[in-house]
Amino acid sequence: MNLIAVIIRPHILEEVRGALHSIGVNGLTMTEVKGFERQQGHTELYRGTEYRINFVPKIKLEIAADDSW
Protein backbone atom coordinates (compact mmCIF):
# COMPACT_ATOMS: atom_id res chain seq x y z
CA MET A 1 0.00 0.00 0.00
CA ASN A 2 1.07 3.55 -0.73
CA LEU A 3 -0.29 6.72 0.84
CA ILE A 4 -0.66 9.53 -1.66
CA ALA A 5 -1.14 12.99 -0.15
CA VAL A 6 -1.83 16.17 -2.13
CA ILE A 7 -2.71 19.71 -1.14
CA ILE A 8 -5.05 21.66 -3.40
CA ARG A 9 -7.00 24.90 -3.38
CA PRO A 10 -10.57 24.50 -2.08
CA HIS A 11 -12.28 25.75 -5.25
CA ILE A 12 -11.04 22.78 -7.33
CA LEU A 13 -12.02 20.04 -4.87
CA GLU A 14 -15.05 18.78 -6.81
CA GLU A 15 -13.14 18.81 -10.10
CA VAL A 16 -10.28 16.77 -8.58
CA ARG A 17 -12.70 14.39 -6.87
CA GLY A 18 -14.50 13.81 -10.16
CA ALA A 19 -11.24 13.17 -12.00
CA LEU A 20 -10.11 10.69 -9.33
CA HIS A 21 -13.46 8.92 -9.47
CA SER A 22 -13.17 8.60 -13.26
CA ILE A 23 -9.89 6.68 -12.89
CA GLY A 24 -11.27 4.32 -10.27
CA VAL A 25 -10.50 6.05 -6.97
CA ASN A 26 -13.60 5.51 -4.85
CA GLY A 27 -12.39 6.62 -1.44
CA LEU A 28 -10.22 9.37 -0.03
CA THR A 29 -9.75 11.41 3.12
CA MET A 30 -10.17 15.18 2.99
CA THR A 31 -8.82 17.56 5.62
CA GLU A 32 -9.17 21.34 5.70
CA VAL A 33 -5.71 22.82 6.31
CA LYS A 34 -4.07 26.23 6.18
CA GLY A 35 -0.64 27.05 4.87
CA PHE A 36 1.59 29.55 3.20
CA GLU A 37 4.35 29.39 0.67
CA ARG A 38 4.35 31.44 -2.50
CA GLN A 39 0.95 32.93 -1.71
CA GLN A 40 1.15 36.18 0.20
CA GLY A 41 -2.12 35.82 2.10
CA HIS A 42 -4.79 38.51 1.98
CA THR A 43 -6.60 41.10 4.07
CA GLU A 44 -10.14 40.84 5.39
CA LEU A 45 -12.44 43.38 6.95
CA TYR A 46 -14.21 42.43 10.20
CA ARG A 47 -16.36 44.92 12.12
CA GLY A 48 -14.60 47.87 10.54
CA THR A 49 -11.09 46.60 11.24
CA GLU A 50 -8.77 45.26 8.58
CA TYR A 51 -6.92 42.04 9.40
CA ARG A 52 -4.01 40.45 7.56
CA ILE A 53 -4.59 36.73 6.94
CA ASN A 54 -1.20 35.09 6.44
CA PHE A 55 -2.40 31.52 6.12
CA VAL A 56 -4.35 30.51 3.04
CA PRO A 57 -7.11 27.86 3.33
CA LYS A 58 -6.32 24.65 1.45
CA ILE A 59 -7.55 21.06 1.20
CA LYS A 60 -5.37 18.02 1.88
CA LEU A 61 -6.43 14.81 0.13
CA GLU A 62 -5.06 11.43 1.19
CA ILE A 63 -5.54 8.29 -0.89
CA ALA A 64 -4.47 4.77 0.09
CA ALA A 65 -3.48 3.02 -3.14
CA ASP A 66 -2.51 -0.58 -3.88
CA ASP A 67 1.06 -1.20 -5.00
CA SER A 68 -0.29 -2.15 -8.43
CA TRP A 69 -1.84 1.30 -8.93
Domain boundaries, the chain: 2-65
d(CA 56, CA 41) in angstroms, rounded, equals: 6
pLDDT of residue 16: 94
Q: Could you tell me the pLDDT band of residue 69, with boundaries at 50, 70 and 90?
A: low
25: closest CA among 47, 48, 40, 4? 4
User: Using one digit for the tens of pLDDT, what is the confidence trace for 6-47?
Assistant: 999 999 999 999 999 998 888 899 999 988 776 666 777 889
What pLDDT is stored for residue 40 in this prediction? 67
φ/ψ of residue 42, rounded to 5: -160, 175
- Domain 2-65, CATH number (from 3.30.70.120, 3.30.70.2740, 3.40.50.1820, 3.30.950.10): 3.30.70.120
